[in-house]
Amino acid sequence: MSEIQGNNGSNIDLWRKKDKIRQMFAPDLTPDEFEAFVGLGASLGANPFNREIWAVKYGNSPAQIFLGRDFYRRKAQEQEDYNGHQVDVVYENDSFQMEEGTVKHSYELQDRGKIIGAYSTVYRDDNKPFFVFCEFVEYSTGKGLWDKKPATMIKKVAESQALRGAFQGLFAGTYDSSEEWEEVKEPPAQEHPQVGDALPPEIESLKDRYPFDKSLKAPKSQPHKPYLGDSTPKELDLVEADIRDCVIEPRYLRYFYTISNKDLDYLHSIVSDILATDNKEIE
């Protein structure tokens, strides 16, 4: 396979394992769409396993490729001239002014009224601050997360646009899913599912696979789900093997187990090593 070029060597390696990338993140894409997905992800150094990039396809419509807001943050912070950024929501009862390029924003924590929009300013050592203001009515769909977490969503729009604008050479032609007027399904975050929560359709077939040892005990804080950790080597071995074989993604494990953030981080790190055992075959 030809060498994939990009600006992040460790994440480029992830994109060489195309069969696993397609299986886990892009099963419905056409060959051309998938190549575009791989090419963009590899060139930017985005990690699909960390939900930094994903593709959405509905029916026969062209696939849409999105980057996560956290990816914009990470890449901006890697730039030598990055000097921080700020983002906040503006409500109708806030005091908000722009004076000679400087934001003056003050408010009380209560009775702020309706959301007007959000702004973000990115600071670079070699340039003037880059400022954007995004009006809420232009982006809110009133559905899904726009209904449940409107402030979070409009902040993501403003922050993504500001970071992209401040580093145009790095992010040109990319978008965050929150910038779409139509509702776009994002990859699930590392949530803490409650006992009894319905399993996502993609892992419904695993409901009888975990845990195979029903005697495993969990901490008192979560007594209904077995604990997964160093004290459960057989269970941990099964989970590790399934991650390597793309049977399950680490983010879904909390539907089956009580698991510490430290152990979950370790299991996520396995994904970054998927290619290591196959490098000889690929080369």
Q: What are residue 275's phi and psi, to 5 degrees?
A: -75, -20
pLDDT value, residue 283: 42
201 pLDDT more than 80: no
Q: What is the pLDDT of the chain when averaged over all its residues?
A: 79
Which residue in 123, 81, 117 sits closest to 102, CA to CA?
123
pLDDT value, residue 5: 35
The more confidently predicted of residues 37 and 202 is: 37
Which tokens in the block code for residue 193?
A: 């599912």
Euclidean distance between CA atoms 281 and 259, whole angstroms: 34
The share of the chain scoring above pLDDT 90, in percent, equals: 25
Question: What are the tens digits of pLDDT across the range 252-267?
Answer: 888 888 888 778 878 8
The share of the chain scoring above pLDDT 70, in percent, equals: 79
pLDDT value, residue 20: 77
Quickly list H helices, 78-177. 136-139, 144-148, 150-166, 168-171
CA 225 to each of CA 209, 237, 243, 254: distance values in angstroms, whole numbers, following the listed order: 14, 18, 20, 9
Mean pLDDT to the nearest integer, 162-172 = 87
Question: What are the tens digits of pLDDT across the range 74-120?
Answer: 999 999 999 999 999 999 999 999 887 789 999 999 999 999 999 99
Euclidean distance between CA atoms 234 and 213, whole angstroms: 9
Question: What are the tens digits of pLDDT across the range 112-161?
Answer: 999 999 999 999 998 889 999 999 999 898 887 888 899 999 999 999 99
pLDDT value, residue 67: 86
211 pLDDT more than 70: yes
